[in-house]
Structure 1
Amino acid sequence: MALGRALRARGHDVVLETWERWRPYAEGEGLRFAASPEYHVFPTRERPLKPYEAVARAAVHTRELVRAERPDVVVADILTLAPALAGELEGVPVATVVPHVDPRSAPGFPPYSAGVRLPRTAAGRAVWDAAARAMAAGLEHGRVELNETRRRLGLPPQARVHGGISDQLCLVATFPQLEYPRPGAGEPATHVVGPLQWEPPFEAVELPPGDDPLVLVAPSTSQDRDHAMLRAALTGLADLPIRVLATYNRRLPPVPLRVPANARLVEWVSYARTMPHCDAVVCHAGHGTVVRALSSGCVVVACPAAGDMNENAARVDWASAGVRLPRRLVSSPAAVRLAVQRALGEPRFREQARELAAWSATHDAGARAAELVERLAAAGAPREPPAAPRA
């Protein structure tokens, strides 16, 4: 959505294909909308599709859209392979957006999403190099599965792993300060452009009164169904000389929450409107929440729940932009209390968060990403005279 908005602002015609529920938001940004097929690939319904079976079906559907629109470039999310394959089938240049840190490994890197920081010694790098050899089988399995999907669609096989990431253009939408340094020049077609941020419009909420430091408690919308982190934060932060704004994200907890005198609990909150007023953000370390907090100069208290949240928490810790709380301690009021006290009490965290906010203010990630997409479109389909690319 953020990239589409940036391209639209530069005068391009943009079609966004995604689930139907996002139609009003896309059209509100001036984008044309196309509904994507919604296949269920997890065992939540009868006869769920296997992931690559769903990809093959969706690629056939999206190919019709690509054929009808005749775009100059197709941009696909890293987890959305169907439009990338559809673009390739129609001979259209394809770019990938990675809406988090780059998941590809490099010598000495720990496994992605393990929640382990980059090692500081040669011995530590050797350990992870050995682990990488063991994990190579998983990457090879993914390559084989993707090549089978490509075969079904009439595309040639790929020799490389991470075949879902374009080798023409990859936009990594995170802070470069959260990216581990890679040996050499890295991937030549990969660009770390900065966070591509967008949120649905929502009005501002009333903040707790007073002048004490303001801490936002922002749980994940998909994890921690019992609100263990939210409950621990409200309890653990009750007696501190701070103000607490907390949201339950329209998911009522199974047991009513006790809201202390220094806190306010709301149904929903606009991060873009609220975080600039905050000093720290307690969250499950979803990438969008983390980069919005850092863009606002907030120290992050990362309480990872699952998946890439572990990786995001490790990167925040490595970059000295906040405090990481192990998952086993997330439901402990005392642990959350100590983590917040440390986040607010150590100047280096605030200094780094402010540096990232300053970087964000002077680097327009949307404009940079749009410029790179324009270059790919121009290189893939030169015109005389040049025409405005369509994505």
Structure 2
Amino acid sequence: MTCERVLSFLLTTWEGGGSVGPAMTVARKLRQHGHRIRVMSDRCNEPEALAAGAEFVPWSRAPSRPDRSKDSDVFRDWEAETPPEQIGRVIDRIMAGPALAYAQDIIEELQRNPVDLVVSSEMLFGVMIGCEAIGQKHALLTANINLFPTPGVPPLGPGLLPAKSPEEEALHEEITRANRQLFERALPPVNAARAEFGLRPLANIEEQFASAERMLLGTSQAFDFAPEAIPPHIRYVGPQLDDPAWAPDWQSPWGEDDRRPLVLVSFSTSFQDHAAVLQRIADAAADLPVRLLVTLGATIAPSQLRAAANSRLVEAAPHNMVMPQASLVITHGGHGTVTRALMHRKPLIVVPHGRDQNDNAARVAARGAGLVLGAQSSAEEFAAAIQQVLSEPGFGAAARALGDRVAADAEHSPVVEELERIALRPSASRSLQAA
């Protein structure tokens, strides 16, 4: 233990694919340092919480998925026709719409069993409201790059690079204004929830973050387009990437003498209507001298795809066991898969499907560590990209250079020390309660 006291922590998150793993990794680290840990999340996350050594409490009023199937998906963003509609579903169905339910759940749990510090996903405004309402100290932990506007960082969504001209700066400002306007749809339900507890209304949604002591970014500063001056309430704590408890052990289905490069294809654990893309990738690799391992998750059955002779389809595989043997990772661009591949020094082909994936892809491409292809790319285009990344040594060299820095940020993560300091010190959050 890095501090003399045994502290108590309550980590809160939600089943959104990559949103769960970092919270469980931090729970394990805190437990290994001797602290008392509880996790509050969707009911299907109980096995991961127990595997991390934490107690588990499910959401009761707030959304709580019983499994990771397509049918239980809360916001069904694959049905959205535009990126703003996709983001709107997340705001309405997780971030802000159920804010009162999340606030009531967290207050009830803290009244039952108080803690020194609540550590919550930055996407759960209701948890912040509940903590603020009862004066509970809390911090925020992201599972990705910062989703909200930050000076000096390209606005999220289109996958932009840092601005290098006045014209690009003007474009970034225009997109930032549009993003802020989109997030303002969260204000009515957030302010309605705040009113239930006698808290003053917010003028803009970003004010809610002022109730938290810190926002800890669970990503690598080397991976991100980090600003020159990092805002004082933000800390980079590196990727938090244990293999999930549900990932089975893995043994290569190919013989030890098979020297063909291994290509790992790993898309979202949540459904993003990506079966057709996986099929085109499998078709692309069918005539190439590679071994193709495709992880499908719980939302796509192996029977939905045609596997070539050099392909194997599995529901899941532990990335930390597979990636050391891989030569290339093809992914949708989720933060966890991208940063894990880099930690293993593997080049990538990124095929974004929405969410934060364009922005993760931009960070890979900007460093020369891989290629970015559209989700509608043909099998021929995928085949050409696979051959290019495997044959041109620059991609591997760039992945190793960036991966060294990402891995160092993960290995030397200050997340435990940061959370201990926050739990022990007097509250520094800016009160929002005064009318």
Query: Can you list the C-alpha shifts for 1:16-61, whole angstroms capped at 9, x where unaligned?
Result: 11122222321222111112126456589xxxx8654521022112
Aligned to 1:177: 222
Aligned to 1:230: 278
Aligned to 2:148: 104
Q: Is the Cα–Cα contact under 8 Å of residues 270 and 297 in structure 2 kept in the other structure?
A: no
2: distance between equivalents of 1:228 and 1:24?
A: 31
Shift of 1:335: 1.3
Letter in 2 for 1:379: R
The answer as to 2:54 corresponding to 1:31 is yes
Letter in 2 for 1:26: A
Q: Secondary structure at the match of 1:362?
A: helix
Aligned to 1:147: 191
Aligned to 1:335: 381
> Of the candidates 190, 198, 201, which is equivalent to residue 234 of structure 2?
190
Deviates more, 1:367-376 or 1:32-41: 32-41
Q: Secondary structure at the match of 1:236?
A: helix
Shift of 1:126: 1.9
> Of the candidates 317, 320, 325, which is equivalent to residue 277 of structure 1?
325
1: distance between equivalents of 2:294 and 2:322?
A: 11
Aligned to 2:17: none
* Alignment CA distance shift 1:336-1:102 (3 Å): same
* Unaligned segments of structure 1, at least 5 residues: 383-391
Letter in 1 for 2:386: V
Q: Moved runs in structure 1, 4+ residues, more than 6 A? A: none
* Alignment CA distance shift 1:111-1:30 (3 Å): same
TM-score (ref. length: structure 1): 0.86
> Of the candidates 118, 127, 130, which is equivalent to residue 83 of structure 1?
127
* Alignment CA distance shift 1:300-1:127 (3 Å): same
Q: Is the Cα–Cα contact under 8 Å of residues 281 and 382 in structure 2 kept in the other structure?
A: yes
* Alignment CA distance shift 1:195-1:218 (3 Å): same
1: distance between equivalents of 2:51 and 2:304?
A: 36
Shift of 1:277: 1.1
Query: Can you list the C-alpha shifts for 1:244-298, whole angstroms capped at 9, x where unaligned?
Result: 2122224445965332233222232111211111111111111111112111111
Q: Secondary structure at the match of 1:194?
A: coil
Aligned to 2:5: none
* Alignment CA distance shift 1:137-1:223 (3 Å): same
Q: Is the Cα–Cα contact under 8 Å of residues 239 and 409 in structure 2 kept in the other structure?
A: no
1: distance between equivalents of 2:375 and 2:283?
A: 17
2: distance between equivalents of 1:150 and 1:365?
A: 39
Shift of 1:15: 0.8
* Alignment CA distance shift 1:340-1:153 (3 Å): farther
Q: Secondary structure at the match of 1:34?
A: strand
> Of the candidates 307, 311, 330, which is equivalent to residue 259 of structure 1?
307
Aligned to 1:64: 108
2: distance between equivalents of 1:358 and 1:131?
A: 33
Query: Can you list the C-alpha shifts for 1:224-250, whole angstroms capped at 9, x where unaligned?
Result: 436112111111112222222122224
2: distance between equivalents of 1:134 and 1:58?
A: 27
* Alignment CA distance shift 1:373-1:303 (3 Å): same
* Alignment CA distance shift 1:186-1:157 (3 Å): farther
Deviates more, 1:217-226 or 1:359-368: 359-368
Q: Is the Cα–Cα contact under 8 Å of residues 365 and 372 in structure 2 kept in the other structure?
A: yes
Shift of 1:119: 3.2
Query: Can you list the C-alpha shifts for 1:102-149, whole angstroms capped at 9, x where unaligned?
Result: 122245654312223333333212222233344443344434542332
Q: Is the Cα–Cα contact under 8 Å of residues 327 and 390 in structure 2 kept in the other structure?
A: yes
Aligned to 2:414: 368
Q: Taking every aligned residue pair, what percent have the same amino acid on both sides?
A: 28
Letter in 2 for 1:181: A
Aligned to 2:250: 204
Q: Is the Cα–Cα contact under 8 Å of residues 59 and 85 in structure 1 kept in the other structure?
A: yes
2: distance between equivalents of 1:262 and 1:53?
A: 46
2: distance between equivalents of 1:203 and 1:133?
A: 46
2: distance between equivalents of 1:156 and 1:111?
A: 29
Aligned to 2:347: 299
2: distance between equivalents of 1:227 and 1:101?
A: 26
Deviates more, 1:337-346 or 1:54-63: 337-346
Deviates more, 1:5-14 or 1:236-245: 236-245
Aligned to 1:8: 31
Shift of 1:349: 2.2
Aligned to 1:215: 263
> Of the candidates 17, 20, 27, which is equivalent to residue 43 of structure 2?
20
Aligned to 2:359: 311
What are the residue-to-residue correspondences of 1:158-173 with 2, within 5 Å? 158-159=202-203, 161-165=205-209, 167-173=212-218
Q: Is the Cα–Cα contact under 8 Å of residues 282 and 301 in structure 1 kept in the other structure?
A: yes
* Alignment CA distance shift 1:43-1:195 (3 Å): closer
* Alignment CA distance shift 1:338-1:70 (3 Å): same
Shift of 1:360: 4.4
Number of positions where the alignment pairs a residue of Structure 1 with one of Structure 2: 375
Q: Secondary structure at the match of 1:293?
A: helix
* Alignment CA distance shift 1:381-1:114 (3 Å): closer
1: distance between equivalents of 2:188 and 2:304?
A: 49
* Alignment CA distance shift 1:105-1:347 (3 Å): farther
Aligned to 1:388: none
* Alignment CA distance shift 1:164-1:229 (3 Å): farther
* Alignment CA distance shift 1:107-1:95 (3 Å): closer
The answer as to 2:400 corresponding to 1:354 is yes
Aligned to 2:432: none
* Unaligned segments of structure 2, at least 5 residues: 1-23, 64-73, 78-91, 429-435
Shift of 1:214: 1.2
* Alignment CA distance shift 1:21-1:50 (3 Å): closer
* Alignment CA distance shift 1:267-1:23 (3 Å): closer
RMSD: 2.7
